[in-house]
Structure 1
Amino acid sequence: MILSNARLIFADRLARGHVRVTDGKIAALSDQALEPLAGEPVIDLGGQFLAPGFIDIHVHGAQRRDAMEASSEAFAAICRHHARGGTTALTPATVTATSESILRVLQAAQEYRRQPSGDGAQLLGIHIEGPYFSKEKPGAHRLDLIRNPQRAEWEPWLAFDGLVTQMTVAPELPGALELFEELAGRGIIPSGGHSDAWDEDAAAAFAHGMRHATHTFNCMSTARRRGPYRVAGLLEFVLSEPEVLCELIADAHHVSPTLMRMLYLAKGPDGIVLVTDAAAGAGLADGETFQLGDIACVVRGGVSVTADGQTLASSTAGMIDLVRNMVQLVEISLVEAVRMATLNPARALRLEARKGVLKVGAEADLVSFTDDFQVTHTFVGGRNVL
């Protein structure tokens, strides 16, 4: 097919143009109208934006479905819902749970990936978030299940070849450095998060391979006094280290616009990955209830909170909402905001040769949207799944 009359969003510029898709890949990019082949459909986008599809590397669920259900039905529902927000690929995240529960998620995801492509975003792998957290920074995770890393437990999780894409670990825990080193060696993202680390803990984790920060600002230690001295925490370490890629839940609830702007000024457009961290409350109306793992939660004021209202429990956002917020609230360029939702997560997953970019030969994962950030088409491998 041909997608014509679009404002193409490249990694470094906007340009008027036309795109040909053949066999699920971008076959041509042109600033001149492309002549249709016999029987080739043409979709006239009428000047809408056309960008690489968004890649969400931290998402738990949607529409009352949760990755922890460990079922193809749950994964399919999550992938369908998030395609509406322009997401073409995602990595569902676990919550702190028993080892057996995490294994079930991995087994189900492995089976789901063997099935024919569905009508939603592509499931790239699994982000294991928890159980290796600080008990001081649990967020909406069960405190009684938080524990220290043990090779006998995590080694079977990593035996699913190519399935685990990321693990979130508090750097200060006994056994964390060994795990970071193992993850880095296997090409899995070693990410610091849910942490009460001191500056030296973060530096040690960096020396052992940590190059990523989970939902920056949220559940993360910050500068405090140790005796008479002011000492940095994990937050200041990742802000100041150019090689660390920082996730940001840019829903304007988890992190205020001022903090979002501060992160942008510290990390620049190449140092931020936008993530929804959306849970089963995504797609529900205000006041509706759902479960995050086995924790009761409710949608309130456009965000998810635990039933007691005391703790944020993931967002209800789609990726297009995050891009809009970065443009409208942080006042960065659309090109930069889209890069944070496309090329940057593709780089984190080492997929930038084929995903997150507009170039000939890349997979035809594409999203079109209007000037007011309404998604009109989501293409996964050239198939319209919206």
Structure 2
Amino acid sequence: MRYLLRNCTLYTGTTVLHHHALLVQEGRIAAILPELVAPDDVLAVDGRGLSVAPGLLDLQIYGAEGQLFSVSPGVESLEALARHTFWHGTTGFMATMPTNSLHMMHRALEVGLEFCKQQPGLLGIHLEGPYINPVKKGAHQEEFIHAPTVAEIEELLMRADGMLKMMTLAPEVATPAVVAKLREAGVILSAGHSNATYAQATAGFQNGFGAATHLFNAMSGLQGREPGLVGAVYDASAAQASIIADGVHCDFASVRISKKLMSERLFLITDAVTESQQGAYRFQRQGNHFVDEQGTLAGSALTLPLAVRNCVEQVGLPLAEALRMASLYPARVLGLDDQLGLLETGYTADFWLFDEDVNPVATARAGELMWHSEKSK
């Protein structure tokens, strides 16, 4: 399909353009043109004065619409995640399986492979555990926590067949052989649920770890005599880190301070779960977050548009930068920033339209545009 999206403000990821149009052809961005010189022989789609930005990317989400992937790793759960994220301007997501049995981990990978043959949106599976430090388990189930072995990793990678894209593990429990196996397979290693010392964490970032999971949460903190994992993240110039900008998992001032120190290395995730009363993970909602049966803080109730808005209204970031934290920067983590995260000629036509309050109104994946309400049509 070929069309021209006009009458909108374009947040391209590098600049903000007014009075420009987006030419979409065969699922890609064919051109960005001043409206005055845009061709008039192409189907015109009215952007209705809305803003347009690259599709959002969520690298850590567990459930939506009452379907928790952590408990029911099936196609139905992934379909719920796909609908929910797309509705909220998110064109790519990484379904996350927290610390669980090997059977559940294998099942998550197999279902991911099956789902990707049916429909788009899933970027891969993120295994958060079980190779973590029980001291920093948070809401994870301790009975499943254990140290990794090369044989176990090889079995995971064989079953994954490329579906395992990211793994959160504690640097202090990962042997060099385990790290090497995962990196050889292209798995992004993210330090998290860790009580690592500054030295241990720094060694991890120097030897295969490229990211950190939900900065501040379930990790050794920054202190004067022991900078911990947080200090190592700040200090490692190539380390990227996700953060949950809901004001509960960390104070908005902590987001602001981290942004000043890390700049483009900090990116947004939702860490979103849904209510569940069965299986190993049982959550109930409390305001804008979830807790487990013991009252331990678990996942968030965030969407990425809300996280972006929080970064603008509560952290004080420019909208263009907050948008990059949920699109371009996670694309870089995945090594997909040559295809996703920008409105640029040749890039996949994944984008969303939103109003002045950062509420999603429409989303396009590979150029297929869907308005989210009858009122918007």
Q: For this structure pair, what is the TM-score category when the shorter chain's length is used for normalisation?
A: over 0.9
Please tell me whether residue 234 in structure 1 is matched to residue 229 in structure 2: yes
Instruction: Note the residue ranges of structure 2 that are not aligned, 5 or more in a row.
Output: 373-377
Deviation at 1:21, TM superposition (A): 1.2
Q: Residue by residue, what CA displacement relative to the aligned partner does 1:71-117 show, whole Å, maximum 9, x if unpaired?
A: 11110111101112211001101011111110011001101101144
Q: Residue by residue, what CA displacement relative to the aligned partner does 1:312-352 show, whole Å, maximum 9, x if unpaired?
A: 11111111011111111111111111111111111111111
Please tell me whether residue 351 in structure 1 is matched to residue 336 in structure 2: yes
- What is the CA–CA distance in structure 2 between the aligned matches of 1:293 and 1:62, rounded to whole Å? 16
- What is the CA–CA distance in structure 2 between the aligned matches of 1:245 and 1:223, rounded to whole Å? 17
Specify the alignment match of 1:104 in structure 2: 107
TM-score, normalization: structure 1?
0.91
Q: Which of the numbers 59, 66, 69 marks the counterpart of 2:68?
A: 66
Specify the alignment match of 1:276 in structure 2: 270
Is the 1:66–1:293 contact (alpha carbons within 8 Å) kept by the matching residues of 2? Answer: no
Please tell me whether residue 9 in structure 1 is matched to residue 8 in structure 2: no
- What is the CA–CA distance in structure 2 between the aligned matches of 1:123 and 1:18, rounded to whole Å? 28
Deviation at 1:20, TM superposition (A): 1.5
Specify the alignment match of 1:284 in structure 2: none
Specify the alignment match of 1:258 in structure 2: 253
Per the alignment, in what secondary structure is the counterpart of residue 94 of structure 1? Answer: strand
Is the 1:25–1:364 contact (alpha carbons within 8 Å) kept by the matching residues of 2? Answer: yes
Question: Greater CA deviation, 342-351 or 158-167?
Answer: 158-167
Is the 2:68–2:276 contact (alpha carbons within 8 Å) kept by the matching residues of 1? Answer: no
- What is the CA–CA distance in structure 2 between the aligned matches of 1:365 and 1:223, rounded to whole Å? 38
Specify the alignment match of 1:368 in structure 2: 353
Deviation at 1:176, TM superposition (A): 3.8
- What is the CA–CA distance in structure 2 between the aligned matches of 1:37 and 1:308, rounded to whole Å? 62
Per the alignment, in what secondary structure is the counterpart of residue 93 of structure 1? Answer: strand
Give the direction of change, closer, same or farther, for the CA distance of 1:329–1:224 in structure 2 (3 Å limit): closer
Give the direction of change, closer, same or farther, for the CA distance of 1:67–1:168 in structure 2 (3 Å limit): same
Is the 2:11–2:54 contact (alpha carbons within 8 Å) kept by the matching residues of 1? Answer: yes
Is the 1:66–1:292 contact (alpha carbons within 8 Å) kept by the matching residues of 2? Answer: no
Q: Residue by residue, what CA displacement relative to the aligned partner does 1:140-191 show, whole Å, maximum 9, x if unpaired?
A: 1101111111122121222223211100010111x44332333233322111
Deviation at 1:353, TM superposition (A): 1.0
- What is the CA–CA distance in structure 1 between the aligned matches of 2:122 and 2:52, rounded to whole Å? 22
Is the 2:14–2:342 contact (alpha carbons within 8 Å) kept by the matching residues of 1? Answer: no
Is the 1:216–1:248 contact (alpha carbons within 8 Å) kept by the matching residues of 2? Answer: yes
Is the 2:153–2:181 contact (alpha carbons within 8 Å) kept by the matching residues of 1? Answer: no
Q: CA RMSD in A?
A: 1.6
The percentage of counterpart residues that share the same residue type is 33
Is the 1:55–1:89 contact (alpha carbons within 8 Å) kept by the matching residues of 2? Answer: yes
Q: Residue by residue, what CA displacement relative to the aligned partner does 1:275-295 show, whole Å, maximum 9, x if unpaired?
A: 00111x2xxxxxxx4258622
Specify the alignment match of 1:47 in structure 2: 49
Per the alignment, in what secondary structure is the counterpart of residue 109 of structure 2? Answer: helix
Deviation at 1:23, TM superposition (A): 1.2
Give the direction of change, closer, same or farther, for the CA distance of 1:372–1:107 in structure 2 (3 Å limit): same
- What is the CA–CA distance in structure 2 between the aligned matches of 1:5 and 1:293, rounded to whole Å? 49
Specify the alignment match of 2:203 in structure 1: 204
Letter in 2 for 1:85: H
- What is the CA–CA distance in structure 2 between the aligned matches of 1:213 and 1:31, rounded to whole Å? 40
Specify the alignment match of 2:168 in structure 1: 168
- What is the CA–CA distance in structure 2 between the aligned matches of 1:152 and 1:335, rounded to whole Å? 45
Specify the alignment match of 1:304 in structure 2: 290
Give the direction of change, closer, same or farther, for the CA distance of 1:203–1:81 in structure 2 (3 Å limit): same
Deviation at 1:36, TM superposition (A): 4.4
Is the 1:177–1:205 contact (alpha carbons within 8 Å) kept by the matching residues of 2? Answer: no
Specify the alignment match of 1:285 in structure 2: none
- What is the CA–CA distance in structure 2 between the aligned matches of 1:246 and 1:326, rounded to whole Å? 16
Is the 1:139–1:312 contact (alpha carbons within 8 Å) kept by the matching residues of 2? Answer: yes
Give the direction of change, closer, same or farther, for the CA distance of 1:293–1:180 in structure 2 (3 Å limit): farther
Letter in 2 for 1:37: D
Matches within 5 A, 1:186-201: 186-201=185-200
Is the 2:62–2:272 contact (alpha carbons within 8 Å) kept by the matching residues of 1? Answer: yes
Q: Which of the numbers 240, 245, 249 marks the counterpart of 2:240?
A: 245
Deviation at 1:249, TM superposition (A): 0.8
Is the 1:368–1:377 contact (alpha carbons within 8 Å) kept by the matching residues of 2? Answer: yes
- What is the CA–CA distance in structure 2 between the aligned matches of 1:254 and 1:291, rounded to whole Å? 22
Deviation at 1:307, TM superposition (A): 2.8
- What is the CA–CA distance in structure 1 between the aligned matches of 2:40 and 2:259, rounded to whole Å? 42
Q: Residue by residue, what CA displacement relative to the aligned partner does 1:194-236 show, whole Å, maximum 9, x if unpaired?
A: 00000111122122111100000100101458xxxx1221011
Letter in 1 for 2:251: S
Letter in 1 for 2:39: E
- What is the CA–CA distance in structure 2 between the aligned matches of 1:63 and 1:347, rounded to whole Å? 29
Specify the alignment match of 2:365 in structure 1: 380
- What is the CA–CA distance in structure 2 between the aligned matches of 1:145 and 1:161, rounded to whole Å? 23
Per the alignment, in what secondary structure is the counterpart of residue 298 of structure 2? Answer: coil
- What is the CA–CA distance in structure 2 between the aligned matches of 1:238 and 1:178, rounded to whole Å? 23
- What is the CA–CA distance in structure 1 between the aligned matches of 2:278 and 2:144, rounded to whole Å? 14
Please tell me whether residue 26 in structure 1 is matched to residue 29 in structure 2: yes
Name the structure where helix makes up a greater proportion of residues.
Answer: 2
TM-score, normalization: structure 2?
0.93
- What is the CA–CA distance in structure 2 between the aligned matches of 1:116 and 1:263, rounded to whole Å? 36
Q: Residue by residue, what CA displacement relative to the aligned partner does 1:340-381 show, whole Å, maximum 9, x if unpaired?
A: 111111111111111111111111110110111111111111
Per the alignment, in what secondary structure is the counterpart of residue 209 of structure 2? Answer: coil
Is the 1:292–1:313 contact (alpha carbons within 8 Å) kept by the matching residues of 2? Answer: no
The size of the alignment, in residue pairs, is 365
Per the alignment, in what secondary structure is the counterpart of residue 290 of structure 1? Answer: coil
